[in-house]
Structure formats: C-alpha cells, structure tokens
Amino acid sequence: MIQSQEGTIINIVSIAGKMGLPNSAVYSASKFAVSGFAEALLEEVREYNIRVSCIYPGRVHTELFGRKNSFSGKIENYIQPNDIAEAALLCASGTQTAAFKEIVVRPRRPVR
C-alpha cells in the first residue's frame, strides 16, 4: 500500500471498543486495544494516502450466538452480516479528500 500510495485498512471491532460492557472486561479491553492500534496506524500511514477505518457493530446475528445458545429475540432485530459488509464498502469508497474513520452500526430496534 505504501508503494502504491493508496489503500484502505478496515478493522471490524465491536461496540465494546467504544464502551465497556458488563461481565466482558477482557473482551472490552481487547476491543479498545484494536481502536488504539487503528488510531496510531492511521497517523503512521495517512501521508501515504492510506485510509484506516473502524467499524463498531452492536449485536450481529452470527453463529457465535447460536453456539452459545444466547440468541434471543427476533432475528430481524439483530444487525445482519450484510449490514457490516455495507459499512465496509462505505469505508472503502471514501473520496480522495476524506475518509470514514469510524462507523458505529447499531440495531434499529433493541435486541431483548
């Protein structure tokens, strides 16, 4: 990317990288670390026209919930994987003069 003088690095973090979650201290800390890494990396590579973005999704309907039997509520109330893909496409399509540093993706309806 440095040789090409362009590129986009997209980090899929978690809403836990923006706010600490109860009973998830280690998980939240690891997500805050990714945010800090991305922030520092952005400063290191922005002179090379490389974008660094973070996407912070809330609850996404993935196999993780199925394996833990913690999936509750209506599937349509969860963020879908394709919603995150759309956010990534938005990050990758930044203009020559602007970039999407952070995108927070939350369910439209509360997940209960």
What is the residue extent of each domain of the chain?
A: 7-105
CB burial string 53-69: b at 16+ within 10 A, e below: bbbbbbbbbeeebeeee
Is pLDDT at 70 greater than 60 in this prediction? no
Report pTM: 0.87
Catalytic residue among 27, 48, 56, 78: 27
For the domain covering 7-105, report its CATH number.
Answer: 3.40.50.720
Is pLDDT at 71 greater than 80 in this prediction? no
Residue 27 catalytic? Answer: yes
Q: What per-residue confidence (pLDDT) applies to 108?
A: 87
